Amino acid sequence: MRWSKAFIPTLRDDPADAEAVSHKLLIRAGFMRQLMAGVYSLLPLGTRVVRKVEQIVREEMNRIGGQEFQLPSLHPREIWERSGRWSAMGAEMFQFQDRRGADVALGMTHEEIFAHLAGGLRSYKELPQIWYQFQTKFRDEARPKSGLLRVREFTMKDSYSMDIDWDGLDHAFDEHFDAYRRIFNRLGFETVAVEASSGSMGGNQSVEFMLRSDAGEDWIAACSACGYAANIEKATSTIEPVHDEPGLDAPERFPTPGVRTIEDLEKTDGGAPGWRQIKTLVYRVDEKIVLLLLRGDHTLVEQKIVDHVEGGEIRPATADEAKDALGAQPGSLGAVAVEDHFIIADEALRGRSNMVTGANVDEFHLRGVDIDRDISVKAWLDLREVRDAEGCPMCAAPLAVQKTIEVGHIFKLGTKYSEAMGATVLDGNGKAAPIVMGSYGIGLERNMAAVVEANHDAAGIVWPVNVAPYEVVVTVVKPKQVECLEVGVRLYEALLAEGIDVILDDRDERPGVKFKDADLVGIPYRVVVGPKGLADGVVEIKRRRDGETRDIQVGHAASTLAEAVLDERR
């Protein structure tokens, strides 16, 4: 490809609405353009990178015995109803009616469809199976942002393992874990594997692969001492034990006019610091009211409730619902002497006494509260959000809470979808057994953006050779000079013959413009063909990653570059 003929619309300035580095650079360097919120067109450079990411993923999936499929994006309502997810997915799923009035959806994932196809398997002798595809997914994100990191339309590699038992699933899960490690290594960045919530996917275990990055929206807690790591939705920690002073013989009510928050109560006469307060949150679980109790200075992780409490709809109660349940407005709520509602308390409150909480009377609170004596806790759960420097649950060393980008997620689904779709096989005893499934996802465009987040500098993108749109750019400084152009073309053709992805920059532009464009686009190697060098029989080779430059004899340039590029390919 000649740059003069290529569509590479580079920009001088960052887009005004871009915050993430990858968003800025992929727009500026001409890899993509926004069509609407959360929807992007990939331009030729972006398409080349995504195809290389796809091929790396395909090679690693084939390596573990995967078979490639191509499934529809348009799904009938009935198949999602069978799994119970037509309603559970809510507004995030694009749902509409076709011209015949039938309810259909755009696929946001394909567990149901693959499980439906797995119904064609008959015997345990046909297992195990690993099936995968590269397919467009659609998710109506409420707040798409950060370029390709949170979008409404994207390409995912989703794979599914089918086994006769849980031992087989464990093996498939481990195979995918190792494959994902190899994929991210080949893409040019390091990830941390963390315990994660399975959310609406179901199953009993999942692992996220996270890239540490300020552009991320996921938080993890990780221990450098023992290797423990978990998404903040799943993470636990140890905290310093609290030794309460002796309290009252019974809770005592006191006035707290105008107090609405934990901070207000800290500043009020007779109040208490956050760690001595009991925060009462009122939730609706289907039609029932549930009270959640935490220490005042702790934050609820709502996903922990979703993961541990069975219910079709779990949400915070409205102010009116809370008042109907407890008799007061938020800010004065508590669980003392409450017997009509199910109460769940966070483990950090276990055994606490001499606490302060709402009195269930507006503008009043109670002090001297003893958890065991005064509150009928029905269940104890870990509800709170882990904080930086709290103790690791495995070794007690300080945890580090870090911002990350999720680049892959693997799930042990079990039999949730196979049972819903009737996907059974005959086992060794001739009895029907549901197929045990796993699900494994990687977003291609998100991983392209992640590569940029991990590989950039002040001048632009620094692509690893494996995924660079072009591995070498031959920059002809004076394209109107016959000798310069002829040498540039010969080098270009020689590199093509060596199997190198190369672009010839033959534009009639100032050298500085060409050099800046090459750095912005992030091409790993640049060959500069100019009259000064040719006078000495050399061309200049520059490596983008570290700026190393050297002069090479013209006759050896192609072979030298090919050797360097092939050495970096993994």
pLDDT at position 270: 85
Tell me the per-residue pLDDT of 497-546, one tens digit each, with 9 for 90 and over. 999 999 999 999 999 999 999 999 999 999 999 999 999 999 999 999 99
pLDDT at 62 over 70: yes
Report residue 496's pLDDT band, with 50, 70 and 90 as the boundaries.
very high
Tell me the per-residue pLDDT of 199-209, one tens digit each, with 9 for 90 and over. 666 667 899 99
Q: Which fold has domain 19-235+401-452?
A: BirA Bifunctional Protein; domain 2 (3.30.930)
The β-bridge partners of 425 are 433
- Sequence-ordered list of residues with C-beta below 8 angstroms from that of 277, at least 6 positions apart, any chain: 262, 265, 266, 271, 295, 296, 297, 355, 356, 357
Tell me the per-residue pLDDT of 404-441, one tens digit each, with 9 for 90 and over. 999 999 999 999 999 999 999 999 999 999 999 999 99
Buried b (16+ CB within 10 A) or exposed e, 395-425: eeeebebbebbbbbbbbbbbbbbbbbbebbb
| Domain-wise residue ranges, the chain | 19-235+401-452, 252-381, 470-568
- pTM, entire model: 0.91
Backbone phi, then psi, for 136, in 5-degree steps? -70, 135
Average pLDDT over residues 315-341: 96
pLDDT at position 203: 62
Report residue 570's pLDDT band, with 50, 70 and 90 as the boundaries.
low
- Whether 30 and 9 have beta carbons less than 8 Å apart is answered as yes
Q: Measuring CA to CA, which residue among 510, 509, 550 is closest to residue 533?
A: 550
Residues in the chain: 570
Taking domain 470-568, whether its CATH number is 3.40.50.800 is answered by: yes
pLDDT at position 313: 86
Tell me the per-residue pLDDT of 251-279, one tens digit each, with 9 for 90 and over. 999 999 999 999 999 999 888 999 999 99
Average pLDDT over residues 380-398: 97
| Distance separating alpha carbons of residues 429 and 436, to the nearest angstrom | 17
Residue 205: count other Cβ atoms within 10 Å of its Cβ: 16
CATH number of 252-381: 3.90.960.10
pLDDT at position 202: 60
